[in-house]
Copies of this chain bind each other. A is one copy, B any other.
């Protein structure tokens, strides 16, 4: 033989299918529990039968392989049933983001070409608003916790529980090609319409196995078969980070909380003895405060934080309450998990401050993830904890692009790498730390200066209430940072004093000296987006106008 000969795809080629994850869990723990808040308890055995019933019921409604089945629900056992039954039939599960505006939801329903929508009674009013503009042919199934008659003009082809009651638990799930599309979900960019990402059976199975590997073991930062799992990032958001698939494969006890309310979350944490969750920082804050107020013990709770940077102050509060907390990194486009910031065993000897610092990093790439930080020419940047570059990745579970959107897809995938748009450093231990978004980083004199770092340092000045730093074009240095500052009440504008304040950090090596802005603009308030993020795009426009005026 003179060339590498790929093996043929024969009967020995066993496809990577979502049904294998369910089968593993059913074999391991048929009597294990799946709990929906205070409403329902199922064994895995019953759950498995309900997955079969759901598939039979959907088939009876006409759902076929290749169809798209959408869900609008809070986190429930029903949603988990859809996670399995819909892709296992060869259909595509569209997890509708119920936090989007009705107009955006309308766009995603039509854009994803949903055939059937399973809708929680709570979201029926949303559908009523947009139904006249929904493309023809979509059928509705009602998900109802309440049981009270629903006042609506919408027509339902079935109610979920009655559909299951009358359907056969046996369904002849097809042996699919592993590259069959399994799920789709819409991301919410800061601009434009939501964009659809999508994942195949193969991708979800490999994500499950790699996340399981990253979390398997004794000690800190772990998720094993004996744990009790409760998601606190929504199931509509990249399959709750894929953890329900991991939990099911493991045969772990699972608790689905419905809508996130602080009281209920703390109740369930305590009552069901939850030991493993994942959430965003704001929800963590809510749970920590709720648990503290009621003196609930969280010392058996491990939680991955993602969605936004984990601040050291919050992480410290969690650690002080006994929580095993660490950061994770990923995006809707990446399936999502790419990296986790668990401590390594030798770090458990370090002091709590240092541990907290590591827990707040973006983490180390998990198995099968190929992760680089690169400059504008795709050259690798040193892993010294200081040199910043754009994070680009390859892994077997990244979206191939945006649904029906070739232009955006081409921008996402360049040169065989998915471009995250995040700026990061990697330290000698291999831990990644996101420092900025590419669009917000300031490129000056051949260096990349983090706007987030600068903002944090400016905020340490006693007279500053709010701060934003943006890069403005500069003929000599490419860009120069400009600081926009809102002062606390009664404080005087002192640009020189602020620059002196920043110079001291440059001397300490916390920022480059090129990072200290010459220009400080004092403003009444900073423009923010609808979700409260700094709106740097509109700041750039404002500053441009200002410069135009000054010329």
Contact = CB atoms under 8 A, between A and B. Distances in A.
A20 B367 contact: yes
A298 to B, nearest CB: 20
Interface in A1-57: 1-16, 20-21, 23-24, 27-28
B368 A418 contact: no
A395 B113 contact: no
Nearest to A178: B6
Nearest to A249: B367
A192 interface: no
A368 B66 contact: no
Interface string A210-251: 101100111100101110000000000000000000000100
A210 B213 contact: no
Interface in A339-397: 344-345, 364-368, 370, 394-397
Most buried by B among A4, A179, A365: A4
Interface string A59-77: 0000011111000000000
A14 B395 contact: yes
Contact of A5 (B5, B14, B28, B180): B180
A463 interface: no
Contacts of A180: 4-7
Contacts of A219: 218, 226
Given A12-B400, A12-B401, 5 more contacts: A4-B66, A4-B174, A28-B344, A209-B213, A217-B225
Contacts of A177: 4, 6
B217 A212 contact: no
Nearest to A398: B12
Contacts of A3: 64-66
A285 to B, nearest CB: 30
The 8 closest A-B pairs by CB, nearest first: A216-B216, A12-B400, A218-B218, A4-B90, A217-B224, A4-B65, A24-B367, A6-B179
Nearest to A5: B66
B218 A212 contact: no
Contacts of A445: none
Contact of A218 (B8, B20, B224): B224
A218 B226 contact: yes
A256 to B, nearest CB: 23
A452 interface: no
A224 B217 CA distance: 5
Contact of A176 (B4, B64, B205, B212): B4
Nearest to A16: B396
A2 B396 contact: no
A23 B370 contact: yes
Contact of A210 (B209, B218, B366): B209
Nearest to A413: B11
Given A7-B179, A7-B400, A209-B213, A14 B394 contact: yes
Interface of A: 1-16, 20-21, 23-24, 27-28, 64-68, 90-92, 113, 174, 176-177, 179-181, 198, 200, 205-206, 209-210, 212-213, 216-219, 222, 224-226, 249, 344-345, 364-368, 370, 394-401, 413, 416, 418, 430
Contacts of A14: 368, 370, 394-398
B11 A364 contact: no
A interface majority secondary structure:
loop
A543 to B, nearest CB: 38
A1 B401 CA distance: 18
A213 B5 contact: no
A180 to B, nearest CB: 5
Contacts of A11: 400, 413, 416
A30 B249 CA distance: 30
Contact of A10 (B65, B213, B400): B400
Most buried by B among A91, A113, A217, A226: A217
A398 B12 CA distance: 6
Contacts of A200: 6-7
12 contacts: A2-B67, A4-B177, A5-B181, A7-B200, A14-B368, A15-B396, A24-B367, A206-B209, A212-B212, A212-B216, A218-B222, A218-B226
Contacts of A6: 177, 179-181, 200
B400 A27 contact: no
A217 B223 CA distance: 8
A384 to B, nearest CB: 15
A207 to B, nearest CB: 11
A66 B2 contact: yes
A92 B2 CA distance: 11
Most buried by B among A368, A400, A430: A368
Nearest to A399: B12
B1 A68 contact: yes
Contacts of A181: 4-7
Contacts of A20: 367-368, 370
A218 B23 CA distance: 22
B2 A64 contact: yes
